[in-house]
Amino acid sequence: MKEKLYRFMQGRYGSDQLNRFLMILVVLCFVLSLFGARVFYILGIALLAYAYFRMFSKNRYKRSAENSVYLRYEYKLKQKVASFTKNMKQRKTHHIYKCPSCTQKIRIPRGKGKIEIRCPKCGQTFIKKS
């Protein structure tokens, strides 16, 4: 039995990060479908079929390319989330202004009253409340 399964899976793509993500989506769709949204059930079945198709596919090159596209998007999203959380933490202690002429972001500590800000990039000055 184990031998048969091994022979069946030989040369096939198997699982990767994209498939793991698809499986999470499948579970999410099925959970949402429990609340009466039939669309999610159909979507879940479709995603499950796609995940199995990828797993048993013999076109390793194409599946691997799909996975790297997914990983690129995942990386970009993680970067954005990290930058957003960093900005949220800084909001308590700093103001972030954009230079009116070159749109360079400038970080100013809060609680200093009205101050003149000089852009370090282009030298433009402007007045803002800190």
Q: Where are the alpha helices (DSSP H) in the chain?
A: 2-9, 17-33, 38-56, 60-90
Q: How far apart are CA 97 and CA 104, in angstroms?
A: 8
Among 73, 122, 128, 129, binds Zn ion (CB under 5 A): 122
The dihedral built from the CA positions of residue 68, 74, 77 and 79, taken in this order, carries a sign that is negative
Closer residue to Zn ion in complex, CB, 33/130:
130
Closer residue to Zn ion in complex, CB, 93/124:
124
Count residues contacting Zn ion (CB under 5 A)? 7
3-state secondary structure of 128: strand
- Cβ 96 to Zn ion shortest distance, Å: 14
Q: How far apart are CA 130 and CA 110, in angstroms?
A: 5
26 Cβ neighbours under 8 A, 6+ residues apart: 44, 47, 48, 51
Among 58, 89, 121, 128, binds Zn ion (CB under 5 A): 121
Q: Return the residues of window 70-109 that contact Zn ion according to CB under 5 A.
A: 99, 102, 104
Print the binding letters for residues 32-61 with Zn ion: x by CB under 5 A, - otherwise. ------------------------------
Sites of contact with Zn ion (CB under 5 A): 99, 102, 104, 119, 121-122, 124
